[in-house]
Amino acid sequence: MSKIQEFTVIKKLGEGSFSEVYKVQKKSDKTEYAMKKVKMGKLSSKEKENALNEVRMLASINHPNVIGFKEGFFEENSGCLCIIMEHADAGDMLAKINSHKKNNTNFTEKQLWHFFIQTVRGLKALHDLKIFHRDIKLLTCS
């Protein structure tokens, strides 16, 4: 069985120019993860190198305010690099902001400070490792 067959796709979470992200469930233990599938065939040599460096960096980080890397593998059939990461089940900040807009409500000051402090702690963890992140997404954990 190939590695990709160890997971069941639950739903698509998003996509970018060269990748798609899915919520998946590992069949063996029913744990939910996020799977980023990077389309390697369409990437230049430099972009492929950057994708592999992303995996190496993710694997080196262990911090409660940074999404955790679980495993990575290459899927032969689609030519994709698959990156399995912790799934932030509480969603991202944009969804929470949009929900407040829709309901004409606001975050409390305590909530805003909580989100801000978590973000700064995650950034500090990256900066301590000399990693500059250029695609920050604010995710919330319950």
- The amino acid at residue 31 is T
Residue 108: per-residue pLDDT: 96
What is the spatial distance between Cα 80 and Cα 63, in angstroms, rounded to a whole number? Answer: 27
Which residues make Cβ contacts (< 8 Å) with residue 27, sequence separation at least 6? 6, 7, 8
Token pair in block for residue 33 = 């993860």
Q: Which of 29, 89, 92, 135 is catalytic?
A: 135
Of 26-40, 89-103, 121-135, give the range with the top mean pLDDT: 26-40
**With pLDDT > 70 as the criterion, what percentage of the chain qualifies?**
92
Q: Are 20 and 12 in contact (CB under 8 A)?
A: yes
* Average pLDDT taken over every residue of the chain: 87
pLDDT average, residue stretch 25-51? 89
Using CB atoms within 10 Å of the CB of residue 98, give its burial: 0 to 12 exposed, 13 to 18 middle, 19+ buried: exposed
Confidence class of residue 135 from pLDDT cuts 50, 70 and 90? low
Here the tokens at position 124 are 């500090």
Residue 29 among the catalytic residues: no
